[in-house]
Amino acid sequence: MEGAKAIIILAAGASTRLGHPKQLLQYRGRTLLRHSIDTALASSCRPVIVVLGANAEQTTPETAGLPVTTVTNLQWAEGVASSIRAGMDAVIRDEEKPGAVVIMLCDQPLVTAAFLDRLATIHQSGRHGIVAAEYGGSGGVPALFDRALFPELMALRGAEGAKPIIVRYAKDARWIPFPEAAIDIDSEDDVQRLANV
């Protein structure tokens, strides 16, 4: 199924600024991790790959019984690039050979399945190798990357993630306004802000 769009949920970070695993913060009756998984599963993107890492023992139960592929990134301390590589390794090995991959974070709770599907639909037109959320004046995740860019995702290193690829191909990318993606959880202030949304 060449047209399939895989999705990688990045949830391997140590939450050092917050001081406890943000993946397990409660949001609308579920943990942030479970909420992000449910959002991904409500979209048309398959397979859904969840990358765990720093708090894998505590966070793995959140994936139990769900139709997802769970990957433990033992190199999580390197930064987000290592989690992208770990997720991409699972994408590349998937028997469906997805034609694109969506990368999303577990701590952007206002991302919706409808938005993920919109990324996939726009990519289906064949005109854009990258389709990204636009917020804060630039493109960012959730973002979809065409299969032609898989080698570049696999080559990422360090803490910056996929942003350099989005910037490199900005002229050919499609950015979809989605200010809700600017809400992510890194500190207690962010937690309080989310509670008021």
pLDDT at 192 over 80: no
Give residue-wise pLDDT tens across range 155-165. 999 998 999 99
Give residue-wise pLDDT tens across range 24-65. 988 889 999 999 999 999 999 999 999 999 999 999 999 999
Which domains can be identified in the chain, with CATH numbers?
Answer: 5-195 (3.90.550.10)
Is the peptide bond between 142 and the residue preceding it cis, with omega within 30 degrees of 0?
A: yes
Out of 60-74, 79-93, 131-145, 183-197, pick the least confident.
183-197
pLDDT at 131 over 90: yes
Name the helix (H) or strand (E) containing 23: none
- Nearest by Cα to 63 from 116, 105, 11, 7: 11
- Nearest by Cα to 133 from 155, 161, 103, 169: 103
Contact status, residue 68 vs residue 37, Cβ threshold 8 Å: yes
Contact status, residue 122 vs residue 174, Cβ threshold 8 Å: yes
What pLDDT, on a 0 to 100 scale, did the predictor assign at position 1?
34
- Nearest by Cα to 179 from 146, 147, 137: 137
161 beta partners? none
Structure tokens belonging to residue 38 = 């449910």
Rounded Cα gap, residues 189 and 132, in angstroms? 26
Structure tokens belonging to residue 63 = 């994936």
Give residue-wise pLDDT tens across range 98-107. 999 999 999 9
pLDDT above 90: percentage of residues in the chain: 76
What pLDDT, on a 0 to 100 scale, did the predictor assign at position 2?
52
Average the pLDDT over 156-183 and give the result: 93
What pLDDT, on a 0 to 100 scale, did the predictor assign at position 138?
85
In the structure, what pLDDT confidence band is assigned to residue 172 with cuts at 50, 70 and 90?
Answer: confident
131 beta partners? 144, 174
